[in-house]
Structure formats: structure tokens, C-alpha cells
Amino acid sequence: MRFERREHRPAALVIATPLIAVVAALAIAGVLIALAGAPVLTAYGKIFTGTFGSKLSATETLIRATPLILTGLAAAVAFRARLWNIGGEGQFYLGAIAVAAASAHLFAGLAPILQIPLLLIVGALAGMVLLLVPLWLRLRFSVDEVVTTLLLNFVAILFVSMLIDGVLKDPTAFGWPQSEAVDRAARLPKLLARSRLHIGLLIAIAIAFVVHFVQSRTVFGVQSRAAGLNPTGAVFSGVPLGRTLVFVAMISGGLAGLAGAIEVLGVKGYVTTDLSPGYGYSGIVVAMLANLNPLGVVLAALFTATMFVGADGMSRSMGIPTYIADVTVALSLLSMLVAVFFTQYRIRR
Amino acid sequence: MSVLIDILASAGLWAAVLRIATPLILGTLGALLSERAGVLNLGIEGIMTFGAMIGWLAVYNGADLWTGLLVAALGGAMFGLLHAVLTVTLGLSQHVSGLGVTLFASSFGYYVFRLMVPVAGTPPTIEPFQPIAIPGLSSLPFVGPAFFTQTPPTYLAIALAVVLAYILSRTPVGLAIRMTGENPHAAESQGINPMAVRYGAIIAGSALMGIAGAFLTLSAFNSFFPTMVQGRGWICIALVVFASWKPERALLGALLFAFFDGFQLRLQTVLDGVPYQIFLMIPYLLSIAALAVMARRARVPQALMQPYRRGER
């Protein structure tokens, strides 16, 4: 048995791959649910109703999807240029804490129309800076950015922990390590009355369209793609490799930082070290499920959010550990990798 | 100043150094073995988490400690097999496959743990490995309590480093592994099956990663809790570069690293007023610094991260 590269990639197959991958992941996760002694179909039914069953659960899913769209875009933009940014989690936290600090001390009292955009920029800048460090190490010392971005996640979270237990600590939080609350004027407007759903969702979707446009219609989009497909060839055809990677890193880190900023301004209002249930890491799965397509990221983020919110409810009523959501999401990444492979290769005997 | 000397002169520090180094030695050797055959295994963080969980669970359910280590090794090997199928048979991106394996292995580990062990106020514990004093050597002043009163897995880890160094540099198997990592096409022309070598190296390496994780729950601590691996797997990946892909240097690197870690832990108790998070950052920053210093000087296996397909260049 061997694999042979396909001459043509059937369009229907390419479009169907994420669906096939998700179904495969759900099937394997179903085995795990069955092994736990629970009825599989009932469990999946509960995941669905737990996600879309009521207005409350539907808005919760959209709230969860918002940071995932942004961290997913962050990974997709970087991976397309073969910049392995696995540091989305750290960039998310740095964006979050930068916003909390700036709102409490720098921009307090400014009108929302000024303060919110300024804070979003601050959050994005913080994420950018954290990714430029590993990029510099790669360009200057040939250090693989996978390991450095991963290690910086731990540094960033410890840094946040230090600030919220120190200079930025909320004195009214009964000793709990959490940051001071952001200015009331900085909170993102709600999208729906009497819900937690905020305009961050619209911002994230709009950014997905912008990223899609930049990647498919601009010179920079072509250059970043070329940098990923064939760096040596790209340099020969006049692509400024270093500069392109710097821009890619600024966009990628900026998006992950923005995710943290929006999470603080839209949902929590302050920073703790459990602000993110791994949004940075899940963003990688989202990007891969979307096959690095910015618009696909929106759908993949919705799927991932569905799994997490639905599994919460299902786990409460059926006694299945919530970790089943993480298992399913990880499995869908692995099956997506395999499914994409089979759009490129076929089996020959 | 005298405080620093006090710390350095305490046998407790040096005993802790070996203890901290043990999972790093095992994990680094596992990652190194796989990379010498040409495959980066970023599954390490998740495999260590799974090994820590499954080894502990086996002992919690009545197995003895050595069986626990064996179960952890088998668990690691299982995820190694998965990584091998993805990266060798299918030739997928080693970065993304490895991250996928990490996400899957750790979340699967947490799932199994929660399923088998109900939530409790205090985490359930097991009776961990006890230190074994090496007869004669352990009664030496200072050196004895510092280096020769460790738990068995620590001695095992050091022995494994020596064995792996010997295998890689002095045996036909080692030659086959190194050739596969440098030039799989040349290896094949010598009658070596590069696919088989890579499978073997990844699976054996992942078994070591599983044991590395199990050391945490069966020797260093006595219970399992999520996120306990704390990036040790990623530090091991950095240590492989620092060691320039050589087992004997991996041993030294892990010990050096553990020295700084043990030192900062003791410094924390002495230096008041410095936030403890600063100290906790040191291991990660140190790893990044080590990478920056060594990345250009280290001799990378030439076929690292290149999938091998017969007849395809």
C-alpha cells in the first residue's frame, strides 16, 4: 500500500473535509462516552440543546466563539506564512492585562467612543510585542519559534499573576488576586438587551472579512503565502522575507492580544489568571479546522464554542467529565490533519 | 552573600537538583531519540501529562510502583504510535501533529482521571517511591545525602542517559537511527528501513516521556492534578537543542537547568519582597536564553522535520 499525490483536488472533497473530520471526532468521542456508561445519542442531544436550546445558551455560545474567532485568525495568519505562533495564550493574557492597566490608570474617564478604540489598540499592541520577541530570536539566532512562543505563554501568565497580585491588584476583591475593574465607560456595548452578548462578536467577524480580503487581494497577502510555501523561492522572487514575517507577527500577535482585550472589556471587566480556558491553544485547532481560511475560522470557532458550552451542560446532567469537550476538539484537529492529507493523496495498492 | 553560600553548601539543594532533573532527563532523552531519527515530537507535554496520570492511576488501583512506571511507558508508547502514523506514514507537519497529540493526550488523560477518580476536597494520594541509600557511597559526608540518597527512578534516568549515549554512538542500531535522521535516502540504500527506524525511535522516545511524567506522580509528588507538568515537556524540547542532540550533554543540561531551578526555589525563601512569580519565570526564561545561545552552534540532524516518502524527494 502506498500513497500517490492527486493530480486534481476534488472541490467537493475539499469542502467536505472539515465535516468529515468533525464527524470522525464525534464518533471517537462517542466511544469514550459509551465507555463511561452513558447513552451516546442522548449525550450528543444534550450538547446540542445545551448550546442552542435557549436564548441564554445560544448567546453563551456566541460569547465563547468571539475570542476563538480572534485567536483562530491569529493562528491562521501566522501558520499560512509558516510562522508557528503557539503563543496565542500568552498574547491573549498580555492583551487583557494591558487593557486593564490602561483603563484604570491611563484612559480612565475618557468617553467610551474614544476609550474603547484606544484600549483595543493597546491590547493588540501588547500581543504584538510578545510575538515580536520570538520572531526576533528566530531571525537573529535561528531559534525555532514553536518552543519560544510556548515557553513565553508561561512567562506571560506568571507576569499577569504578578501584576494582579501586586500593583494592579483590586483592593476591594477580599484578597483575591484579580485586577482592578476596567472603567465603566470602557465596557463594550451589549448586542442584545438582558444578555451578556457584546459587540465583540461583530468586531471579530468584521476582522475575519478584513483578513480574508488582505490575504486574497493584496500584495502582502501573496507575499506572506509565498513566505510560507517556499521561503527560499520567495526571497529569489523579491519577497522581503524578514519584513513580511514581521508584519505577519504583528497581525497574528495583535489579533491574539485583541482577543484578550475584548474578553476583558466585553465579558469579565477585570483580569484573573483563569480568564482564558485555553483560548490561545483552541485557536490553533480552530485555524486548522478552517484549513487556515479566515472565513472558515468563524464557522470553526462556532463549532468549537458549541462543543465547550454544550459539554458543560451535558456533563452536569449526565456525569460525563467536561473534558470530553477538550478531547473532541483535539480529536477534530487530528482527524482534520488526516482528512486534509487524503484530499492531497490517494491510496494505491 | 553568605546566604548564597549557605544555600550552595546545603546537601538538600543538591539532592533537590537530582530530583528536579529526573523528569527533565527522561523527557529530554525521549525527545532526543526521536529527533535523532528525524522526527520532532511536540506531543511530549501531553504524553508526560498522560504518563503522570495513568502511572498514578495504576498504582492507585493497587499496582506496584514499577508496574505504574511500565503502564506509563506503554501509555506514552501508544501516543508515540499515533504520532508516528501521522508524521511517518502520512508525512504530516510534525509541528501540528505533535501539538494535536499534546492536546489529545492531555485532555484524554484529564477525562480518564475525572471518570475514575471522583472530585474530592483533598486529592487522593498513593505511597510514592522512597529514597534508596546506595550502600557505602551514601555514608560519605555531604556527597552521600546529596547524590546517593535518591529514589530508584532517578538512578534509572541517569543510567538511561549513559545507555542511550552508548547505543547512539557505538551500536549498529544507533548508526541506523543517526543515518535516518541525517539522510533517510542514504540509509535506505544501505538496506535500512527509515520508516521502521522512525517508528521505533518515536515509540521508544514517547515511552521515556511517559515515564518522565510518571516520575512526577510516583516519586516527586504522590497525587495527580491537571496542569502539573507545567511546561516541563517544552523545556525538554529546548534542552535537546541545548544538548546539541547528544545524550551525555542532555544529562548535563538537565542537571544544570535543575540546579538553577533548585537554587531559585531556595532563594525565594530568603529574598523577601520579590514577587514569587519572578522566580517561577526563571526556568522558562533560562530555556529561551539557552536556545538563543545554542541554536546556531548546535548540530541539527539534517533530515529533522522532513517527511520521508519512498521515491519522493
A145: closest CA of chain B, how far (Å): 10
- Please tell me the predicted confidence (pLDDT) of residue B1: 66
Task: Please answer whether residues A25 and A335 qualify as being in contact, where contact means their C-beta atoms are separated by less than 8 angstroms.
Answer: yes
CB contacts of A154 in chain B (<8 Å) are: 230-231, 281, 284
CATH superfamily of B19-119+130-294: ABC transporter involved in vitamin B12 uptake, BtuC (1.10.3470.10)
Domain assignment of residue A172, yes or no: yes
Q: In whole angstroms, give the CA distance from residue B298 to residue B246.
A: 10
How many domains is chain A built from?
1
Task: Identify the domain containing residue A220 by its residue range.
Answer: 68-291
Summarised one tens digit per residue, pLDDT across range A187-217 is 999 998 888 999 999 999 999 999 999 999 9
Lowest mean pLDDT among A11-15, B73-77, B288-292: A11-15
Q: In whole angstroms, give the CA distance from residue B188 to residue B231.
A: 36
CB contacts of A153 in chain B (<8 Å) are: 231
> E strands, A147-240, where?
none
Domain assignment of residue A6, yes or no: no
Domain assignment of residue A3, yes or no: no
CB of A38 within 8 Å of a chain B CB? The answer is: no
CB of A330 within 8 Å of a chain B CB? The answer is: yes
Does B288 contact A285 at a Cβ distance shorter than 8 Å?
no
Cα dihedral value A45, A48, A54, A56, nearest 10: 130
Domain assignment of residue A146, yes or no: yes
Sequence-ordered alpha helix ranges (H) in B85-193: 94-116, 143-147, 152-170, 172-182, 184-189
Sequence-ordered alpha helix ranges (H) in A36-182: 40-52, 55-80, 88-105, 112-141, 145-164
CB of A329 within 8 Å of a chain B CB? The answer is: yes
- Please tell me the predicted confidence (pLDDT) of residue B311: 65
Summarised one tens digit per residue, pLDDT across range B101-157 is 999 999 999 999 999 998 877 889 999 999 988 888 888 888 777 788 899 999 999
B268: closest CA of chain A, how far (Å): 14
CB contacts of B296 in chain A (<8 Å) are: 141-142
| Sequence ranges of the domains in chain B | 19-119+130-294
- Cβ neighbours, 10 Å, residue A299: 18
Summarised one tens digit per residue, pLDDT across range A307-329 is 899 888 888 888 889 999 999 99
B267: closest CA of chain A, how far (Å): 17
ipTM computed for the complex:
0.93
Cα dihedral sign, A228-B244-B181-B74:
negative
The amino acid occupying position A300 is A
- Please tell me the predicted confidence (pLDDT) of residue A334: 96
Does B97 contact A142 at a Cβ distance shorter than 8 Å?
no
CB of A141 within 8 Å of a chain B CB? The answer is: yes
Residue B171 has pLDDT above 70, yes or no: yes
Q: Which of A151, A331, A338 is facing B90, going by the closest CB pair?
A: A338
If you average pLDDT over residues A83-110, what whole number do you get? 94
Cα dihedral sign, B217-B222-B228-B229:
negative
Does B90 contact A158 at a Cβ distance shorter than 8 Å?
no
Domain assignment of residue A310, yes or no: no
Domain assignment of residue A107, yes or no: yes
* DSSP state string for B27-94: HHHHHHHHHHTT---TTHHHHHHHHHHHHHHHHHTT--HHHHHHHHHHHHHHHHHHHHIIIIIS---H
| DSSP secondary structure code for residue A190 in this structure | B
Mean pLDDT, chain B, whole residue set: 92
If you measure CA to CA, which chain B residue comes closest to A3?
Answer: B90
- Cβ neighbours, 10 Å, residue A206: 11
Domain assignment of residue A325, yes or no: no
Summarised one tens digit per residue, pLDDT across range B194-232 is 999 999 999 999 999 999 999 999 999 999 998 899 999
Residue B313 has pLDDT above 60, yes or no: no
What pLDDT band is residue B7 in, cutting at 50, 70 and 90? Answer: confident
Domain assignment of residue A165, yes or no: yes
Summarised one tens digit per residue, pLDDT across range A138-192 is 999 999 899 999 999 999 999 999 999 988 998 888 888 899 899 888 999 999 8
Which of B21, B276, B29 has the alpha carbon at shortest distance from B177?
B29
What pLDDT band is residue B312 in, cutting at 50, 70 and 90? Answer: low
CB of A147 within 8 Å of a chain B CB? The answer is: yes
B312: closest CA of chain A, how far (Å): 10
The amino acid occupying position B193 is N
B163: closest CA of chain A, how far (Å): 27
Does A155 contact B281 at a Cβ distance shorter than 8 Å?
yes
If you measure CA to CA, which chain B residue comes closest to A148?
Answer: B288
